Amino acid sequence: MERKTVHVAMFSGGAASAYVAYNMVQAYGRENCILFFTNTLWEDVDNYRFMDEIADYIGLEITERIDGRTPEEVFYDYRFLGNSRLAKCSEELKVYQTIVFLEELRDVHNLEPILYFGIGPHESHRADNLKEFYEHRPVEPIQTRFPMIETFRADIDVKSIIEDEWGIKLPRMYSIAEKLRPELGIKGFSHANCGGRCVRGGFQHYALLYAIWPDRYAEQEEMEENFRKHFEKDVSILKKDGGPYTLREYREVLEKEGVENFLQKPDDTVPCVCAFS
């Protein structure tokens, strides 16, 4: 029997994926749509508030999948510390959970999913990678759509629409630096995923994390040090000159030279699959 089409918004908890989800529902109706979220258990508490308010606004309950492990537990299971180049956490907690869910839609509910991502024109290479992945990874190809690239005008101000027109406050991570440390001259994090603890964040990201939430930076530093000791491996989240560069070493430099000198440092990291913001 032919499968019925279901439209699935890949909801990261960010502004762009929220806007894409809203427009998807307007186009196809709530009865034909799913708001899908994979939870890493590291999300900032305000992300959950934002997601709940978005779900209420567009009239869809969040369909959530949880592996049950945190990224740190995944690192220990694989004996591999996630870093700025490779992160098994996103593969296990995000991608695998998504594939299982999509196959469930097909095999159990006889539905054919079409996936919608909130990726903008400035990240078109990520759209190409996702399209390629979903054409080959599942048993059958899955169609992907990127409305921020394919449908909407390139200069659309999604964040202003959500706050000014919808009346929903954005996740605090987007503007927390501007509010807590305005002297730094930076608004906030570039994406709102994993509560700022993303292992693929890079130097600028971790400098901001240290400036805004030194306690969370300390948690990452402790995790890294414990992993190094437990497995007796010279590994780190950040890399410098092709080798390990620990968060402890980086913190000491930030303290000595001033965190503000590192907030504009360009990163060469590859964005995590989690960052559909």
CATH number of residue 20's parent domain: 3.40.50.620
CA 199 to chain centre: 11
Mind listing the pLDDT tens digit for each residue in 235-270? Answer: 999 999 989 999 999 999 999 999 999 987 666 555
User: Rounded to 5 degrees, what are φ and ψ at 79?
Assistant: 55, 35
Does 154 lie in the same domain as 252? no
CA 26, 30, 33, 38 torsion-angle sign: positive
What's the total number of domains in the chain?
2
Q: Are residues 16 and 151 in the same domain?
A: yes
- The answer as to whether 267 is a domain residue is no
Helix axes 71-78, 214-231, angle to 10 degrees: 10
Asked which of 117, 150, 165 is the last residue of a domain, the reply is: 165
Tally of residues, the chain: 277
273 located within any domain:
no
The model's confidence at residue 162, banded by pLDDT at 50, 70 and 90, is very high
The residue among 116, 150, 165 that closes a domain is 165
Q: How confident is the model at residue 276 (pLDDT cuts 50, 70, 90)?
A: very low
- My answer on whether 111 and 152 are in the same domain is yes
Q: Is 256 part of any domain?
A: yes
Instruction: Outline where DSSP puts E strands in the chain.
Output: 4-10, 33-39, 62-66, 111-116, 143-145, 238-240, 243-245
At residue 180, the 3 state secondary structure works out as: helix
**Where in the sequence is the domain holding 213, given as residue range(s)?**
172-262
Together in a domain, 131 and 78: yes
Backbone angles phi, psi at 224, to 5 degrees: -65, -45
The 10s digit of each residue's pLDDT in 76-122 is 999 999 998 888 999 999 999 999 999 999 999 999 999 999 998 87
Token pair in block for residue 75: 């690192």
